[in-house]
């Protein structure tokens, strides 16, 4: 069977077809061709070759999620997602270790209906990925220990604290589920489960869960990418074939839940702005009304021209944000509207307006144009999501699991194309009734439940501690690497050359044709960013970029949004430290229309006064909300501490309350005129383009944009940080402590850039790096620990960071400092460690240029940092050339723990006493406010 690039062909046919809404059947599209078969043990196998990039995705779905749990035993499905990375019978070591050396992208995820695992690897490592997936399917229990189980329980608990308890509004959806579903309904609890259930789970409990659900007859395997069919099928049979079939599984089939009347609930949370949730029961996945409800949600809140956005955010200015969504699952679904009030705003007034808009759409169907815009936006998202081998593999697995048909793309699109305005009106009447939940989160105490007490993450008994030591000894004496399949030779890879032209106005155009898919990405790079913000006008560069699509001389903001939606295109603009970019993503058949809008937005913005005042007001509210988020607080305070308020890097890109209040429309106009000129820009175009056809279009589109006198922006100088030590920002009741440890780093043009990249990868640049293996995998203090250099034109910061359990804040600081001193020589880097990390960096590179957007981003770096045209291809050789002495030298030169700031956002009353015990650091602790301003210093008691 010749099925090479069949999905690419399928997408191309979609893009060439003309969807017909209003109930008429669209043109029939060709079926996706692929190979599918089932092993004797029941494992479903789906193969889809794609030779465009020398990488391959292995995507394995188990048809089990949190809905397969029972009350009192929640969180098991998600816990097993973690346990699956802890080693198995024939490779009883960390799962990430061999795969990250191969340059893999590895992860897993759990939701109520399924658990998935994936690896995207260089094509010569396909056998390794299949071996490891099969070994943990068939041999996880052989390697499971109570020590591993306890460790991952701690990690999951930290994940809960980080994602739920320590986030503004973080427990909202947990509360919604517990209210609208009966206690015995599988959706009554969330995927993370309860801490109590996880703590109570025995080894027998979790083993029984695994045996029942982690069986080949409850799984679906997709291999998509660059592979040989005969070789792949042989490996699948070799490694998965011997695994025994599991018992037959009864799927949950509860009665449809209902809400009788209106339920109103109110909860306090550590937030500044109240938020209200409106929730209705809707339909499960595959229901005939799913598409119409999705279209309804889009009409209500997707885009500037949507009904809720236009009315509540912009016209009547009742809320800061509002959005609608239709969430379908396997055995149920919900439709929701969420509104966040403005400061001193009334949620009751917002509720009245929301109800009025819903009542109107119940009475008067939406226009055909509204439905068409929603459909085109859906189709584009659907298609753009299939650019990567992982995206295709995951979509095919979802179709196989829930629709019993990997090739369900056509059928899904048809369901949306059939939706009419009357359908939208009908589902609004049928589902958005008076039977609903109205839940409010209001300012008050946090709903999180921090664990207090220093012993919370220590071994529960001496036996547990000894068990850990014995296991490490056994693993140290066993060489599991000999069991791993050996890879073939590394595939050759290089990017095509850049075609460079210049328009008559001086605008440089860089092009890389990529003809696989009929889509085009454009990225207009302005070589000026936030470092050009004048003192006292912080946030100006970001505000100017944000305002580009808020109106031009020809189009209003609503017209821009609606025109883009009507062709399924998108324009994004934003500013970072060194540059500003305006990007376009469009289907190639819509290039002329999309380019007209794009050029208008980029070269002809009018910065309407009313839109500016709205944007300014909303930004001020966002800055207020930033004080609710401990991670955002840490970022602002850390930068200000390292660089000071007078250095560009010490000021937030988005600005502060004073600078935003002082900002005037004329500031944006002047900044635009001084920086947004073609002689300070490069237009990058990647995708389905032809130079001869494209250049005349670009010449016409950008002809009115004239060169100008450029206002010079100085590169920020290095900052001298002279006040190392511990800094606390108090967040009473915080469920975790957010740590940021570091110092000013180096600029992007530093000659040691490549050795620094390798050194940081060893220290904290990936999952298997030293700090994460210590603080997460060994100690269980955090959900994830990392380090990184922020490379800019000037020396950006180096940061080691983690969200850690409150009770072990002191221990986490100590372990971070141990690793920072370790990389400098106390724990020497070995040659094997160096080789491992270099190979990982080299082999992962091809998957960073898989899509047209990724290629465009790589070229953007060449523009911003004046790198050579062949830099992308030279990267591999330069990483390979890094030596052990290079790594040791840069670690000692650029990392000095004695001169680092240690910023902690957490509950001072809990963490301060034990932080004072740290030798050499606890003698004095400085306190900061949420903006990084000093509040005072406390001496050691």
d(CA 327, CA 180) in angstroms, rounded, equals 14
Q: Where are the beta strands (DSSP E) in 629-754?
A: 681-687, 725-730, 736-744
d(CA 47, CA 63) in angstroms, rounded, equals 19
Coil, strand, or helix at residue 327?
A: strand
Q: Are 716 and 531 in contact (CB under 8 A)?
A: yes
Q: Where are the beta strands (DSSP E) in 859-915?
A: 901-906
459, burial (CB in 10 Å: exposed 0-12, middle 13-18, buried 19+):
middle
* Tens-digit pLDDT profile for residues 264-309: 999 999 999 999 999 999 999 999 999 999 999 999 999 999 999 9
Q: What is the DSSP letter of 879?
A: H
State residue 19's pLDDT score.
45
State residue 870's pLDDT score.
86
**Beta bridge partners of residue 737, listed in sequence order:** 804
Judging by DSSP bridges, how do beta strands 44-49 and 219-225 pair with one another?
parallel
* Tens-digit pLDDT profile for residues 520-552: 999 999 999 999 999 899 999 999 999 999 999
Q: Helix, strand, coil % (nearest 5) of the chain?
A: 45, 20, 35
- Residue 23: how many other CB atoms lie within 10 Å: 12
Question: How many angstroms separate the Cα of 70 from the Cα of each of 87, 145, 293, 578?
Answer: 27, 24, 30, 52
Q: Are 897 and 772 in contact (CB under 8 A)?
A: no
**Which segments of 684-738 does DSSP mark as H helices, in order?**
691-701
Coil, strand, or helix at residue 228?
A: coil
**Beta bridge partners of residue 61, listed in sequence order:** 116, 220
Coil, strand, or helix at residue 233?
A: helix
Q: What is the DSSP letter of 600?
A: H
**Beta bridge partners of residue 786, listed in sequence order:** 801
Pick from 883, 889, 887, 860: which is nearest to 872 by CA? 860
d(CA 517, CA 11) in angstroms, rounded, equals 7
Coil, strand, or helix at residue 730?
A: strand
Instruction: Name 844's Cβ contacts closer than 8 Å, sequence gap at least 6.
Output: 103, 104, 105
d(CA 840, CA 863) in angstroms, rounded, equals 26
State residue 31's pLDDT score.
53
Torsion angle, alpha carbons of 587, 593, 599, 600, to 10: -140
Q: Are 299 and 305 in contact (CB under 8 A)?
A: no
Q: Are 488 and 663 in contact (CB under 8 A)?
A: no
d(CA 716, CA 531) in angstroms, rounded, equals 7
d(CA 889, CA 751) in angstroms, rounded, equals 13
Question: How many angstroms separate the Cα of 867 from the Cα of each of 31, 574, 788, 881, 895?
Answer: 44, 22, 21, 18, 26
Pick from 397, 374, 176, 206: which is nearest to 293 by CA? 374
Question: How many angstroms separate the Cα of 750 from the Cα of each of 639, 794, 940?
Answer: 21, 10, 40
Coil, strand, or helix at residue 881?
A: coil
> Which of 510-536 are b and which e, b meaning 16 or more Cβ less than 10 Å from the residue's Cβ?
bbbebebbbbbbbbbbbbbbbbbbeee
Helix (H) or strand (E) holding 668: helix 665-675
d(CA 119, CA 903) in angstroms, rounded, equals 35
Judging by DSSP bridges, how do beta strands 725-730 and 924-928 pair with one another?
parallel
> Which of 319-346 are b and which e, b meaning 16 or more Cβ less than 10 Å from the residue's Cβ?
bbbbbbbbbbbbbbbbbbbbbbbbeebe
* Tens-digit pLDDT profile for residues 409-426: 888 889 999 999 999 999
User: Which tokens go with 158?
Assistant: 């930290």
- Residue 466: how many other CB atoms lie within 10 Å: 12
User: In the sheet that 333-341 helps form, which strands lie side by side, from edge to edge?
Assistant: 262-269, 436-443, 275-281, 333-341, 319-328
State residue 938's pLDDT score.
57
Pick from 449, 16, 402, 388: which is nearest to 195 by CA? 449
State residue 457's pLDDT score.
37
pTM of the complete model beyond 0.85 = yes
Q: Are 47 and 25 in contact (CB under 8 A)?
A: no
- Residue 725: how many other CB atoms lie within 10 Å: 16
d(CA 358, CA 362) in angstroms, rounded, equals 6
Residues belonging to the chain: 941
- Residue 744: how many other CB atoms lie within 10 Å: 22
d(CA 920, CA 902) in angstroms, rounded, equals 13
User: Which tokens go with 93?
Assistant: 């070591």
**Beta bridge partners of residue 901, listed in sequence order:** 725, 742
Question: How many angstroms separate the Cα of 749 from the Cα of each of 130, 559, 668, 791, 838?
Answer: 40, 42, 30, 9, 20
d(CA 902, CA 905) in angstroms, rounded, equals 10
Q: Are 904 and 741 in contact (CB under 8 A)?
A: no
Judging by DSSP bridges, how do beta strands 275-281 and 219-225 pair with one another?
unpaired
Mean pLDDT by 10 residues, the chain (941 residues): 37 44 42 84 96 94 95 90 93 93 94 96 96 96 92 88 88 95 95 88 89 96 96 98 95 94 96 96 96 97 94 95 96 97 94 98 97 91 86 94 90 92 98 98 68 33 29 50 87 84 96 89 97 94 98 96 94 96 94 97 97 96 93 95 93 94 97 96 95 95 93 82 94 94 96 98 96 94 96 97 96 97 97 95 90 92 93 89 97 96 96 92 86 74 43
Judging by DSSP bridges, how do beta strands 262-269 and 725-730 pair with one another?
unpaired
């Amino acid at each position: 069977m010749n099925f090479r690039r069949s999905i690419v062909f399928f997408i191309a046919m979609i893009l060439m077809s003309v969807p017909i809404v209003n109930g008429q059947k669209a043109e029939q599209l060709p079926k996706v061709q692929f190979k599918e078969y089932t092993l004797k043990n029941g494992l479903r196998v789906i193969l889809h070759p794609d030779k465009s990039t020398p990488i391959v995705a292995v995507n394995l779905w188990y048809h089990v999620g949190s809905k397969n749990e029972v009350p009192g035993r929640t969180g098991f499905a998600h816990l097993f997602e973690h346990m699956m990375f802890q080693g198995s019978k024939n490779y009883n070591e960390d799962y990430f270790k061999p795969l990250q050396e191969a340059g893999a992208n590895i992860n897993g995820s759990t939701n109520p209906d399924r658990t998935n695992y994936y690896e995207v690897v260089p094509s010569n490592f396909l056998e390794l990925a299949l071996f490891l997936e099969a070994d943990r399917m068939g041999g996880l229990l052989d390697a499971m220990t109570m020590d591993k189980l306890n460790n991952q329980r701690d990690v999951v608990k930290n994940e809960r604290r980080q994602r739920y308890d320590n986030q503004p509004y973080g427990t909202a959806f947990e509360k919604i589920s517990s209210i609208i579903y009966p206690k015995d309904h599988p959706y009554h609890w969330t995927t993370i489960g309860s801490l109590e259930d996880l703590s109570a789970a025995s080894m027998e409990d979790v083993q029984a869960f695994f045996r029942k659900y982690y069986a080949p007859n409850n799984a679906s395997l997709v291999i998509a990418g660059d592979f040989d069919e005969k070789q792949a099928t042989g490996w699948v049979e070799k490694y998965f074939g011997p695994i025994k079939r599991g018992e037959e599984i009864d799927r949950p089939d509860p009665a449809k839940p209902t809400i009788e009347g209106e339920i109103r609930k109110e909860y306090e949370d550590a937030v500044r702005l109240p938020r209200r949730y409106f929730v209705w029961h809707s339909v499960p996945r595959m229901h005939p009304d799913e598409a119409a409800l999705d279209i309804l949600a889009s009409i209500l809140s997707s885009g500037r021209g949507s009904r809720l956005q236009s009315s509540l955010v912009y016209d009547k200015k009742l809320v800061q944000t509002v959005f609608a969504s239709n969430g379908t699952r396997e055995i149920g679904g919900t439709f929701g509207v969420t509104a966040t009030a403005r400061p001193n705003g009334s949620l009751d007034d917002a509720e009245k307006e929301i109800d009025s808009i819903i009542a109107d759409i119940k009475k008067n169907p939406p226009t055909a144009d509204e439905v068409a815009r929603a459909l085109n936006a859906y189709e584009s998202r659907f298609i753009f999501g299939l650019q990567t081998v992982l995206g295709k593999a995951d979509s095919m697995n979802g179709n196989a699991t829930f629709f019993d048909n990997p090739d369900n793309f056509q059928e899904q699109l048809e369901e949306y194309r059939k939706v009419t305005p009357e359908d939208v009106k009908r589902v609004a009447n049928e589902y958005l009734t008076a039977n609903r939940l109205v839940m409010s989160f209001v300012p008050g105490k946090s709903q999180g439940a921090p664990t207090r007490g220093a012993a919370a993450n220590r071994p529960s008994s001496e036996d547990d501690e000894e068990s850990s030591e014995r296991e490490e000894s056994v693993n140290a004496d066993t060489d599991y690497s000999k069991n791993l399949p050996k890879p073939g030779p590394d595939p050759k890879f290089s990017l095509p050359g850049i075609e460079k032209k210049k328009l008559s106005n001086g605008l440089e155009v860089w092009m890389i044709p990529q003809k696989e898919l009929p889509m085009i990405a454009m990225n207009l790079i302005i070589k000026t960013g936030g470092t050009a913000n004048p003192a006292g006008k912080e946030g100006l560069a970001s505000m100017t970029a944000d305002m580009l699509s808020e109106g031009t001389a020809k189009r209003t903001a609503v017209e821009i949004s609606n025109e883009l939606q009507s062709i399924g295109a998108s324009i994004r603009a934003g500013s970072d430290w060194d540059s500003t970019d305006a990007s376009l993503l469009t289907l190639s058949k819509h290039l002329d229309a999309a380019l007209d809008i794009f050029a208008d937005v980029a070269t002809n913005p009018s910065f309407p006064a009313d839109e500016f005042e709205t944007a300014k007001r909303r930004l001020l509210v966002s800055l207020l909300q930033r004080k609710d988020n401990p991670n955002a607080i840490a970022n602002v305070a850390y930068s200000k501490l390292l660089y000071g308020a007078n250095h560009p890097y010490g000021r937030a890109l988005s600005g502060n309350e004073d600078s935003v209040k002082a900002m005037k429309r004329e500031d944006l106009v002047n900044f635009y005129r001084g920086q947004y000129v073609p002689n300070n820009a490069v237009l990058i175009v990647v995708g389905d383009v032809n130079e001869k056809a494209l250049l005349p279009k670009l010449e016409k589109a950008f002809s009115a944009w004239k060169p100008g006198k450029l206002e010079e922006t100085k590169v920020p100088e290095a900052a001298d940080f002279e006040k190392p030590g511990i800094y606390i920002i108090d967040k009473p009741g915080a469920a975790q402590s957010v740590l940021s440890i570091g110092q000013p780093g180096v600029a992007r043009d530093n000659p040691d850039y490549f050795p620094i990249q390798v050194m940081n990868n060893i220290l904290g640049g990936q999952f298997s790096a030293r700090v994460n293996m210590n603080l997460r995998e060994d100690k269980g203090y955090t959900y994830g620990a990392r380090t990184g250099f922020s490379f800019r034109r000037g020396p950006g910061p180096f940061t080691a960071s983690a969200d850690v359990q409150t009770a072990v804040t002191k221990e986490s600081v100590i372990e971070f400092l141990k690793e920072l001193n370790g990389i400098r020589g106390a724990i020497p880097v070995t040659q094997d460690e160096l080789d491992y990390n270099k190979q990982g960096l080299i082999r992962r590179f091809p998957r960073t240029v898989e899509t047209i957007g990724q290629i465009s981003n790589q070229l953007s770096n060449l523009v911003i940092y004046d790198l050579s045209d062949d830099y992308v291809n030279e990267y591999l050789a330069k990483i390979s050339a890094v030596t052990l002495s290079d790594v040791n030298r840069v670690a000692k030169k650029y990392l000095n723990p004695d001169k680092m700031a240690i910023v902690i956002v957490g509950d001072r009353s809990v963490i301060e006493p034990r932080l004072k015990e740290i030798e050499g650091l606890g003698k004095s602790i400085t306190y900061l406010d949420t903006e990084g301003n000093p509040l005072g210093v406390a001496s050691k008691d």
